[in-house]
Structure 1
Amino acid sequence: MIEARDLAKAYGGKQAVAGLSFDVRPGTVTGFLGPNGAGKSTTMRLMLALDRGMGTCTFDGRPFTAYSEPMREVGALLEAKPFHPTRTARNHLRMLAAANKIPMSRVDAVLGLVGLADVAGKKPSTFSLGMGQRLGLAAALLGDPHTLILDEPANGLDPQGIHWLRSLLKSLAAEGRSVFVSSHLLSEMALMADELVVIGRGRMIANGPVEDFTRLSVRNHVLVRTPQAHDLASLIGARLAGVGSVQASAAGELTVTGLDAPAIGDLAFDNGIRIHELSVHQATLEEAFLEITGGSEEFQAHARPQSPQSSPPATPPATPPATPPATATTPKDGQS
């Protein structure tokens, strides 16, 4: 169980993290989301006492610094390649195992678990980003910890690797562990996470089950196709009484919020209105995330200004044609 309370940190007078409090329960994967610059990495460093700041964070009731063999309690991956350049992958893990009194047999076990058994004797400096991530995960799992804190663990992984990571983290949570993971891959987080902590500019935006996060999105609506759209819109508007909306999205189509599909279907049936389509659009995690964090982006892109070279040349003012002399012309034979 992770319990973070009032975490705060400022850099040069700028508040990077401001009073964050949340829990990560055993048996769950909790996704940690936020735009770039939101303070996610700083929050994770505060949780592990790697940065000085305000607030507290405990793991099963004790702060990280209270554990004499911390890797047995908390496994962390905060950087892609925190490895000594001359040690092999196996020796890197053996050094960590020795410092935490972890059996050496565990080293080869985790190398096999993350798919690096065949390159255990190679130096991590030769690894790709994805391979480096796998070795970082091996280090996080080395002590068979109850808690995992992972910052962008899918970074550099190919689609097969991302699928493997998702299955691994869900299986670890199913064993009763607390898994706290940040990611920008929102479609993947929608498949993996049970709960969410969403921050922006260092402040809490949302915290709770994934279903609640998407359920509250204004992107949720019911699409109705009917040849009697005007009549049905009037009935729905009266039923909504200002709570929700009904809009004509195209000819013969209505977009409805505030009334579910069964209620719309019953209303149409009771009034003899034919329905050609009645479908529910559930907001994706990406849609809900963009909606709720739109005003908290640290870095916002703007439209690319047009360079002078690419600008179309100015069109000179049109010159009226010269007035032809007022002389009569006799058409030739066969012309008119």
Structure 2
Amino acid sequence: MNHRISKTLGLGQEAYLFDSPLYLTKSLLAVATGYIIGKYVPIANLDMMSLLLGIMYNLEPLNRLGIRRVVSQILASVIGAAAIGILILAFGVSVFSVSIGVVLTLYVCLKINWRVVSPVAIFTSIYMTQYLQLNEAGLPSIWLTFRLRIISLCLGIAIALFYNYIFSNLYYKKFAEKRLQYANEQVLNGVKYTTQVFQCILPRGKRGYIQLFSQQMNDLDRIYSNIESLKTEFSFLKKESKLVELKKLQDIAELYRDINHLTYDLNFLLESTPDVKLDKELELLLEEVIVVLESIDYTHSIVPPLHELKVEKHYLDLGDSFAERINKICEKVNLVVEKLQDL
């Protein structure tokens, strides 16, 4: 009963691999700090919402990720707020100034990074028209509103950066290893899916693999990028020994991307030829790949024995395509194990 309750209320394995307990702890302390500071800083006390949102939008596992996000948010917020302020001075708060102001902010965000629109900047654009401060004469003041928003936001960002720095050393421990474990599990899911298609447990010709592998490709790219960010941080901190180890871990992350692409190609072939008969040897080889991947655990430094995974390419025409890709998958898995044993 207790195990069932724990499983229901506890976080999933993926959340632990991405250090969610640390994130929850950091959020608790950062918000508490922001609330206390806000109570003692008069201008921030007027806008606790901006202060607390500034904290939560900028909590990141690595310092570099947090700083990179901060720069784009402040730039977009300042430019957006200034543009909206000019619109309000010219046209007052109206359907024109509100709608054009939001579009201007979106435009600035897209100019900075066309892939991401900052929610902080969007909030600022709406805030400037809906939370106008009054001056001593009781009149709406664009300057006071702009100052309140930016100061409260920057104070929240400063608190977030402080806690990013304090917690970064905790995140550094097994950061890359945990993300590689997640990568291993994603690739393992893809190989298991493909094996079920081989065995006709899952139907061919339904294109169900596309969504699965597309999501996995995005996840694996993000993991590679996270390790690259950590390398940059260690370069700045002059941690040369850690950089050598990270380079090997990043090479493994790249191998996982290769395995995932090859497995995707296998599914493409199977979808293109739903009636093809496959040799049992190929199926057994994929099952052996599954055994090897299941034996890997980066979080506990358990190194599996080195497996020689090879398949003889005795097929002709179409069959050769399957054997060739499976052989390449085996080669990549062997390289993963070799690099893991070198760590």
Q: More helix by proportion, 1 or 2?
A: 2
Task: Please give the TM-score of this superposition, normalised by the length of structure 2.
Answer: 0.23
Q: Scaled by the length of structure 1, what TM-score is found?
A: 0.23
